Structure 1
Amino acid sequence: MSGAGTFVPATVRAVRAVADEVRQVELVPDDGARPYPPGSHLDLALEVDGLPVVRSYSVVGAAPDDGAYRIAVKLLPESRGGSRRVHGLAAGDRLELRHPTSHFELDPRRPGYLLVAGGIGITPLVGMAEVLARRHPHQAPVRLAYAGRRRAAMPFVEHLRALLGDDAVVTAAGEDGERLDLAAEVAALHADGEAYLCGPPRLTDAVRACWEAQGRPPRRLRTETFGTAGRHPTEPFDVEVRDHGLTVHVPRDRTLLGALHDAGVGMVWDCLRGECGLCTVRVLGRSTDGQPVVDHRDVFLDAAEREDSTRLCACVSRAVGGRLAIDTGYRP
């Protein structure tokens, strides 16, 4: 019997488009799919840019009854390569996965629920909506607020409307000039209700601000990490590695860690998700106006450290164009 933390072989059963640039992949592990709570994620062992990596993806829908796990992945040109690798999968391909686990579990005892998603952040909320929809309709009201840049790139909308009802699902597409009224959505939630949120940093910050402004308890707002989204467009940049006496160019489609690896700069790393902090380097240079030149995309550094911008996690974070000077800690 393999443990939850063990990688097991799996087969890709099917791949299909569920929205523009979003593919749903069905994965059948050799030892069988297992029940999991809504909000769970699974890990895939992949190779990206010549490096072995582990990427985590939310499992779409409630626990499987047909032997397969489903993930939905958006093709992100600004990603670290995982989405490109997954979009290249086809039926019959073999890979390894870890069975689903959850740090984002649904509390089924609340008197009301607000689900808030941004972009591909909808994936962990689909299973929650399915579980809540199976309850008596008057047991606990459920609303879903879903924002995306383009309506055609927002998957599962019709499925969610069928589950929760048209009046319970509100969507906003940036291309149409639409925005969610987050303050109104939070205000409409039962005083003892709970909100579940998955999306990019700006959406997360906005929901938290509304939540705090209305005096709601922090423990009733649950969030899923969306750690690599970035607050700025991904751009190429140069990095001066002062302890090695060389300058490295970091292309738009390469991470700083990957570019350092290509240049022969020895680095310590593990998670490649901005979580463990092993690849952290010192930032020695700032822009001329005194503002940090780092787009922090990790979940390792705290808010004060990000504001200070004297360190960055090389596996995910980047410079906002231009040139950056760092010290990797190497001493000959």
Structure 2
Amino acid sequence: MRSRQEWRQARVIDIAHPTEDVRAVTFAVNGPLSAFDPGSHTNIRVMIHDAPAIRTYTVLPSAPGTLKIAVKLHPNSRGGSAWVWSLNPGDVTEMTTPENRFELSWRASHYLLIAGGIGVTPIFGMAPALISGGQSVRMIYGGRSQAQLAFRDELETLLGDDLELFVEEEGRSFDLDAEFSRLPLDAESYVCGPIGLLNASKAAWQRAGRPMSRLRFEVFGDSGHYGESAFWVEIPALRKTVEVRPDQSMLEALLQSGVDMVYDCQRGECGLCAVGVLDHEATIDHRDVFFSPTERAQNVRMCACVSRAPGGTISIDTGYQSAPL
């Protein structure tokens, strides 16, 4: 189960490096391409270990007829970032026309944008859209070092004093409680970054007594706790055992093995792909933002699209009780 996708052939026409470990790739896309809102994403057909796969990336503002992405070369990558870093001008692939599940509401009196690391990509499109629309906006942006803050110069030029940078090597980190406490009552905050930042933002937003409908976030599915390694999934109801390779998600492995699954966002947000955990010998690495911290600690359900059980075996119930495949 997924949203309707329209695939287009795409050719690499430009490569740039906003930072040493971030690569921006611009594609010319065949056929008419409608304007897209900030926060939109595209799916890209990639090759990982000579096998086809699909990865999802935010699309950045770019010229008409083009789609631009920025990808960090991540040490825990399942192969997508390495593939993007292997591209050269003239290389051809396929991409979907953009869709948006992280759109601006345009209903608030003030917007607080929060970006952590490469989570800046959707926020980078939101900031100029809000400024050009005459909206009140502040942005806080954090990273490990000044050199790793992609698009910092462009954002400083655009936002001036309404941008504040927080760099770990300088001992500076977000004070989310203080940030949220001084927002107007009808303000909204948009957050993208590591799962730790998203969970901290949700907790601070709740402590501030603010409605959750006014906190929007997007996930890129890495907890940072583990490197990627293979694991095995047993489905007793289907009498199947499926290997999940380091370069694929549990959801991908189950689908490729013929296991029926319900899913949608593939980012750990909607919960549709959640499976019941019957038993596990490995520590479950929960990477979703759908379940509460209490629910994740109970280890009775996990989101198949992002969460993992590195190096071990887990037994699950997918919810389907049909005859064995």
- Please give the range of the TM-score, normalised by the shorter of the 2 chains: 0.7 to 0.9
* Residues 59 and 247 of structure 1: CA distance in aligned 2, closer, same or farther (over 3 Å): closer
Q: Which residue of 1 aligns with 2:120?
A: 122
Q: Which residue of 2 aligns with 1:199?
A: 193
Q: Which structure 2 residues correspond to residues 247-258 of structure 1 after superposition, within 5 A?
A: none
Aligned partners of 2:249 and 2:305 also within 8 Å: yes
Once the two structures are TM-superposed, the CA of residue 312 in structure 1 deviates from its matched residue by: 4.1
Aligned partners of 1:147 and 1:173 also within 8 Å: yes
User: Is 2:307 aligned against 1:326?
Assistant: no
* Residues 240 and 142 of structure 1: CA distance in aligned 2, closer, same or farther (over 3 Å): closer
SS at match of 1:192: coil
Aligned partners of 1:227 and 1:299 also within 8 Å: no
CA distance in 1, matches of 2:66, 2:44: 14
Tell me how many residue pairs correspond in the alignment. Answer: 314
Once the two structures are TM-superposed, the CA of residue 237 in structure 1 deviates from its matched residue by: 6.1
Q: Which structure 2 residues correspond to residues 18-167 of structure 1 after superposition, within 5 A?
A: 18-61=18-61, 64-136=62-134, 140-165=135-160, 167=161
* Residues 4 and 162 of structure 1: CA distance in aligned 2, closer, same or farther (over 3 Å): farther
Once the two structures are TM-superposed, the CA of residue 307 in structure 1 deviates from its matched residue by: 3.0
Q: Which structure 2 residues correspond to residues 226-241 of structure 1 after superposition, within 5 A?
A: 226-234=219-227, 236=229, 239=232, 241=234
RMSD: 3.4
Q: Which structure 2 residues correspond to residues 166-315 of structure 1 after superposition, within 5 A?
A: 167-224=161-218, 226-234=219-227, 236=229, 239=232, 241=234, 267=259, 280=275, 282-286=277-281, 293-298=283-288, 306-313=296-303
Please give the TM-score of this superposition, normalised by the length of structure 1: 0.80
CA distance in 1, matches of 2:127, 2:25: 20
SS at match of 1:116: strand
Structure 1: runs of 5 or more not aligned: 288-292
Aligned partners of 1:171 and 1:180 also within 8 Å: no
Q: Which residue of 2 aligns with 1:290?
A: none
CA distance in 1, matches of 2:303, 2:94: 26
**Residue 44 of structure 2 aligns to which amino acid in structure 1?**
L
Structure 1 residues 135-187: Cα deviation after superposition (integer angstroms, max 9, x where no partner) = 44xxx43111111123222201110110011x211111223322112222222
Q: Which residue of 1 aligns with 2:306?
A: 316
CA distance in 2, matches of 1:100, 1:254: 23
Structure 1 residues 175-202: Cα deviation after superposition (integer angstroms, max 9, x where no partner) = 3322112222222322222111111221
**Residue 319 of structure 1 aligns to which amino acid in structure 2?**
A
Aligned partners of 2:274 and 2:301 also within 8 Å: no
SS at match of 1:28: strand
Please give the TM-score of this superposition, normalised by the length of structure 2: 0.81
| Percent identity (aligned) | 36
* Residues 104 and 44 of structure 1: CA distance in aligned 2, closer, same or farther (over 3 Å): same
CA distance in 2, matches of 1:23, 1:127: 17
Structure 1 residues 93-126: Cα deviation after superposition (integer angstroms, max 9, x where no partner) = 1111111111111123422110001111111111
Aligned partners of 2:139 and 2:163 also within 8 Å: yes
Structure 1 residues 235-261: Cα deviation after superposition (integer angstroms, max 9, x where no partner) = 54664859679896x776665678899
